[in-house]
């Protein structure tokens, strides 16, 4: 009997301990996601008075900082659906998944190399004309020096991808891309995109700029931004060395579903590309805070580049 | 229960346990060996850089690569499976050097008069070489990274054994290379050192090769922690058909593309009718 009573006390104590542990766990930091699958939309899609989906909002819910810097791993074209399944987002090919090696951690250098590899492992690559293949490879190998957006220049289009803030008005839409410091230092960029039915200025009359001349229109519930009139001082993305000519034509598609915004861009540049190239879709979440604001963008002052001793591109 | 029946039941139970245990052991061993081989090459990688909200598992990170040795220049990729082999062979007795570019992607094979020939009008000639698809794809899948990828893809058909103290993986290839079996030997560091291919189909007899890989190191310009062999020796029918001292092996998934020229696609379509 004494043994039974003792057992009951121990069981009660264990239950109390478990309860306490549960409470601690609930108060601790949220568990990290173990997949990078695009988020599923939730909630209704708000509409403006003219019936179009309302894109207005702070679109940095999936970013890892308040400026909405996109999750770089999620953008590499390989989707990790679970701890046992991954595939190439472009062509669906399975990619082998392994558990983390818990016996040995990675130092910063190894982590950077891994990130560099991860972001280049997808199959969706623009196909350049053969005479430019070596140039693209050279750009990518030497991106710390060659990337035109380093040294605080604008990221441009399509590299800017999903803006951190969108403001939608009857005759125009405003995009804001806050700049960021660090080695991927870029300048704050904005785009005012008319939706009043105007036509493009003839290309030969435009002076090439970083964001070009953009004109918006609605195709059903998809907001289409058609841009040309660029300079040749930007790349398609932070990685890859994907340069373009001044004759680049970009068609971006934004589609809001609930609290998600999906973006793709198709790049036409017959001067350098063998065929048009469409980016892997990116999905961003609306900031869930109703009073969300964009913080002041970090002053852009490049200080790291001179101290880089390896070729790893961040 | 009579003693003999009880004894028989116990024996059967123990035997069943043994079979189950052996099966489970085989599965564990295969997974462990494949993981060790992939780790040794630096293929399994994960990263949290740029994110504080995720803790992703590792994935096979190898896609495109490029290596050079002597007059041998190879570019390759695994998604899609493709390879371009450029060779300059000096002719005997002072004859002029012979320069060839042999390319394969998926089920297409062709020869190029210059890199990327046949893609832009007036820029070189692409000559279909449909009969060479298998031979060229085999080179891709018998490289160390291809061996690990193919062994993983073969799943339960991959078997692991020990020969002379060395771990050996044996598995069938699939797709265009169905009918070919690969036997890969790992060294004490779990690096692929010897790859043999064979087929029971006489029509594929010419695809029986033995390739040896040695002197592994990270020899890329952009360091990646991916190990690549410094020497490759391939034999066929006892004759050495390739002996390369690798000078550089770029493993940073460099920009390498293999678009198929329109005339090569047309030739393959016509051939399949």
**Would you state the pLDDT for residue B7?**
59
Provide CB contacts within 8 A for A171, sequence distance 6+: A194, A195, A196
Is it the case that residue B106 has pLDDT exceeding 50?
A: yes
Query: What are the pLDDT digits (tens) for A200-246?
Result: 999 999 999 999 999 999 999 999 999 999 999 999 988 889 999 99
Question: Which of A75-79, A103-107, A252-256 is the least confident region?
Answer: A103-107
Instruction: Nearest chain A residue to B155 by CA: give it.
Output: A96
Q: Which of A88, A93, A118 lies nearest to residue B45, judging by beta carbons? A: A118
**Would you state the pLDDT for residue A63?**
59
Phi-psi region of A262 (alpha: psi -120 to 50; beta: other; left: phi over 0): beta
Burial letters A228-258, b for 16+ CB under 10 A, else e = bbbbbbbbbbbbbbbbbebbbbbbbbbbbbe
- Asked if A42 has any chain B CB less than 8 Å from its own CB, the reply is no
The larger pLDDT score, comparing residue A31 to residue B33, is at: B33
Alpha carbon of A108: minimum distance to chain B alpha carbons (Å): 9
Instruction: Nearest chain B residue to A182 by CA: give it.
Output: B50
For residues A240-253, average pLDDT? 97
Which of 102-141 (A) contact B at CB < 8 A?
Answer: 106, 110-118, 120-123, 125, 127-131, 133, 136-137, 140-141
Instruction: Inspect the interface and report whether the beta carbons of B221 and A116 lie closer than 8 Å.
Output: no
For residues A171-197, average pLDDT? 85
- Asked if A169 has any chain B CB less than 8 Å from its own CB, the reply is no
Alpha carbon of A256: minimum distance to chain B alpha carbons (Å): 23
Alpha carbon of B266: minimum distance to chain A alpha carbons (Å): 19
The larger pLDDT score, comparing residue B103 to residue A295, is at: B103
Is it the case that residue A264 has pLDDT exceeding 70?
A: yes
pLDDT interval class at A313 (50, 70, 90):
low
- Asked if B248 has any chain A CB less than 8 Å from its own CB, the reply is no
Cα–Cα distance, A62 to A68 (Å, whole number): 7
Alpha carbon of B48: minimum distance to chain A alpha carbons (Å): 8
Is it the case that residue A14 has pLDDT exceeding 60?
A: no
- Asked if A180 has any chain B CB less than 8 Å from its own CB, the reply is no
The larger pLDDT score, comparing residue A73 to residue B181, is at: B181
- Asked if B223 has any chain A CB less than 8 Å from its own CB, the reply is yes
Which of 1-30 (B) contact A at CB < 8 A?
Answer: none
Instruction: Nearest chain B residue to A108 by CA: give it.
Output: B49
Cα–Cα distance, A220 to A209 (Å, whole number): 29
- Asked if B74 has any chain A CB less than 8 Å from its own CB, the reply is no
**Would you state the pLDDT for residue A137?**
95
Instruction: Nearest chain A residue to B259 by CA: give it.
Output: A127
pLDDT interval class at A178 (50, 70, 90):
confident
DSSP A108-162: HHHHHHHHHHHTT-SS----B-GGGHHHHHHHHHTHHHH-TTTTTB---TTTT-S
- Asked if A285 has any chain B CB less than 8 Å from its own CB, the reply is no
Please give the interface size between A and B, counted as residue pairs whose CB atoms are below 8 Å apart.
167
Is it the case that residue A17 has pLDDT exceeding 80?
A: no
Q: What percent of chain A has pLDDT over 90?
A: 49
Give the Å distances, CA to CA, from B102 to B2, B83, B135, B209: 74, 8, 11, 19
Question: Which of A142-146, B14-18, B256-260 is the least confident region?
Answer: B14-18
Which of 225-264 (A) contact B at CB < 8 A?
Answer: 240-241
Q: What mean pLDDT, rounded, does chain A reach?
A: 83
Look up tokens 């030969």; give the residue.
Answer: A204
Question: Which of A228-232, B47-51, B127-131, B135-139 is the least confident region?
Answer: B47-51
Instruction: Inspect the interface and report whether the beta carbons of A88 and B44 lie closer than 8 Å.
Output: no
pLDDT interval class at A29 (50, 70, 90):
low
The residues facing B170 across adjacent strands are B159, B183
* Local structure of A83: helix, strand or coil: coil
Is it the case that residue B49 has pLDDT exceeding 80?
A: no
Alpha carbon of A182: minimum distance to chain B alpha carbons (Å): 12
Is it the case that residue A303 has pLDDT exceeding 90?
A: no
Nearest to A223 by CA among A178, A162, A267: A162
Q: What mean pLDDT, rounded, does chain B reach?
A: 88
Instruction: Kindly tell me the number of DSSP H helices and DSSP E strands found in chain A.
Output: 4, 14
The pair of structure tokens assigned to A32 is 């990290």
Q: Which of B44, B54, B62 lies nearest to residue A36, judging by beta carbons? A: B54
HSE-up (13 A, CA, CB side) for residue B194: 11
For residue A174, count CB atoms less than 10 angstroms from its CB and return exposed for 0-12, middle for 13-18, buried for 19 or more.
middle
* Local structure of B234: helix, strand or coil: strand
Instruction: Inspect the interface and report whether the beta carbons of B224 and A116 lie closer than 8 Å.
Output: yes
**Would you state the pLDDT for residue A8?**
44
- Asked if A29 has any chain B CB less than 8 Å from its own CB, the reply is no
- Asked if A145 has any chain B CB less than 8 Å from its own CB, the reply is no
Is it the case that residue A307 has pLDDT exceeding 80?
A: no
Q: Which of B61, B221, B255 lies nearest to residue A240, judging by beta carbons? A: B255
The larger pLDDT score, comparing residue B99 to residue A22, is at: B99
Q: A121 to chain B: which residues are within 8 Å by CB?
A: 59, 61-63, 253
- Asked if B57 has any chain A CB less than 8 Å from its own CB, the reply is yes
Query: What are the pLDDT digits (tens) for B205-254?
Result: 888 999 999 999 998 888 899 999 999 999 998 899 999 999 999 999 99
Q: Are A73 and B47 in contact (CB under 8 A)?
A: yes
Question: Which of A148-152, A260-264, A306-310, B14-18 is the least confident region?
Answer: B14-18
Is it the case that residue A314 has pLDDT exceeding 60?
A: no
Question: Which of A97-106, A231-240, A251-260 is the least confident region?
Answer: A97-106
Q: A240 to chain B: which residues are within 8 Å by CB?
A: 255
Helical ranges in A44-123 per DSSP H: 108-118
pLDDT interval class at B188 (50, 70, 90):
very high
Is it the case that residue A54 has pLDDT exceeding 60?
A: yes
HEC assignment per residue over B15-76: HHHHHHHHHHHHHHHHHHHHHHHHHHHCCEECCCCCCCCECCCEEECCCEEEEEECCEEEEE
**Would you state the pLDDT for residue B11?**
53
Instruction: Inspect the interface and report whether the beta carbons of A34 and B57 lie closer than 8 Å.
Output: yes
Q: B51 to chain A: which residues are within 8 Å by CB?
A: 64, 71-74
Q: Which of A33, A120, A311 lies nearest to residue B221, judging by beta carbons? A: A311
User: Which of the 8 DSSP states describes residue B165?
Assistant: T
Q: Which of A73, A106, A128 lies nearest to residue B51, judging by beta carbons? A: A73
Q: What percent of chain A has pLDDT over 70?
A: 80
The larger pLDDT score, comparing residue A219 to residue A9, is at: A219
Query: At CB < 8 A and 24+ separation, what contacts does B118-126 make?
Result: B118/B261, B118/B262, B118/B263, B118/B264, B119/A129, B119/A130, B119/A274, B119/B259, B119/B261, B120/A129, B120/A130, B120/A274, B123/A130, B123/A131, B126/B261, B126/B263, B126/B264
Q: Which of B39, B59, B252 lies nearest to residue A101, judging by beta carbons? A: B39
- Asked if A66 has any chain B CB less than 8 Å from its own CB, the reply is no
Instruction: Give the predicted TM-score (pTM) of the model.
Output: 0.87
For residues B14-25, average pLDDT? 46
- Asked if B113 has any chain A CB less than 8 Å from its own CB, the reply is no
Q: A93 to chain B: which residues are within 8 Å by CB?
A: 79-80
- Asked if B198 has any chain A CB less than 8 Å from its own CB, the reply is no
Instruction: Kindly tell me the number of DSSP H helices and DSSP E strands found in chain B.
Output: 4, 16
For residues A20-46, average pLDDT? 67
Upstream peptide bond of B169 is cis (omega within 30 degrees of 0):
no
**Would you state the pLDDT for residue B90?**
75
């Amino acid at each position: 009997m004494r043994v039974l009573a003792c057992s009951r006390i121990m069981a009660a104590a264990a239950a109390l301990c478990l309860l306490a542990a549960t409470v601690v766990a609930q108060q601790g930091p949220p568990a990290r996601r173990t997949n990078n699958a695009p988020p599923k939309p939730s909630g209704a899609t708000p509409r403006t008075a003219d019936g179009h989906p309302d894109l207005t909002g702070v679109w940095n819910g999936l970013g890892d900082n308040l400026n909405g810097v996109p999750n770089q791993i999620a953008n590499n074209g390989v989707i990790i659906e679970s701890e046992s399944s991954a595939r190439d987002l472009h062509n669906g090919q399975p990619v082998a998944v392994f558990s983390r090696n818990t016996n040995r951690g990675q130092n910063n250098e190894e982590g950077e190399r891994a990130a560099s590899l991860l972001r280049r492992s997808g199959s969706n690559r623009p196909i350049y004309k053969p005479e430019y293949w070596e140039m693209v490879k050279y750009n990518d190998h030497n991106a710390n020096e060659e990337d035109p957006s380093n040294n605080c220049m604008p990221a441009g289009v399509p590299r800017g991808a999903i803006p951190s803030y969108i403001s939608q008005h009857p005759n125009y839409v405003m995009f804001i891309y806050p700049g960021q410091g660090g080695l991927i230092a870029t300048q704050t960029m904005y785009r005012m995109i008319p939706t009043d039915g105007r036509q493009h200025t003839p290309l030969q009359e435009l002076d090439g700029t970083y964001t070009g001349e953009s004109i918006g229109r609605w195709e059903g519930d998809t907001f289409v931004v058609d841009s040309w009139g660029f300079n040749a001082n930007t790349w398609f993305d932070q990685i890859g060395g994907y340069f373009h000519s001044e004759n680049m034509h970009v068609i971006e598609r934004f589609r809001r579903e609930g609290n998600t915004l999906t973006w793709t861009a198709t790049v036409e540049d017959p001067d350098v590309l063998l065929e048009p190239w469409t980016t892997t879709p990116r999905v961003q979440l609306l900031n869930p805070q109703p009073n969300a604001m964009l913080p002041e963008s970090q002053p852009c002052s490049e200080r790291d580049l001179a101290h880089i001793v390896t070729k790893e591109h961040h | 229960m009579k003693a003999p029946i009880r004894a028989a039941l116990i024996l059967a139970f123990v035997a069943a346990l043994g079979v189950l245990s052996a099966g489970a052991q085989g599965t564990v061993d295969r997974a462990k060996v494949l993981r060790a081989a992939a780790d040794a090459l630096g293929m399994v990688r994960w990263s949290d850089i740029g994110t504080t909200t995720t803790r992703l598992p590792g994935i096979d990170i190898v896609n495109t690569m490029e290596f050079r040795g002597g007059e041998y220049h190879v570019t390759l990729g695994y998604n899609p499976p493709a390879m371009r082999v450029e060779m300059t062979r000096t002719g005997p007795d002072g004859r002029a050097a012979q320069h060839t570019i042999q390319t394969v992607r998926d089920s297409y094979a062709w020869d190029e008069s210059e890199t990327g020939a046949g893609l832009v009008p007036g820029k070189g000639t692409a000559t279909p070489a449909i009969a060479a698809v298998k031979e060229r794809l085999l080179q891709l899948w018998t490289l160390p990274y291809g061996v690990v990828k193919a062994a993983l893809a073969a799943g339960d058909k991959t078997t692991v054994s020990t020969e002379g103290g060395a771990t050996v993986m044996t598995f069938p290839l699939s797709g265009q290379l169905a009918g070919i079996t690969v036997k890969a030997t790992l060294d004490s560091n779990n690096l692929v050192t010897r790859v043999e291919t064979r087929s029971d189909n006489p029509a594929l007899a010419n695809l029986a090769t033995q390739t040896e890989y040695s002197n592994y190191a990270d020899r890329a310009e952009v360091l990646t922690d991916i190990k690549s062999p410094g020497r490759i020796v391939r034999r066929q029918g006892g004759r050495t058909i390739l002996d390369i001292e690798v000078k550089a092996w770029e493993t940073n998934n460099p920009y390498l593309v293999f678009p198929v020229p329109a005339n090569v696609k047309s030739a393959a379509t016509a051939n399949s009718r």
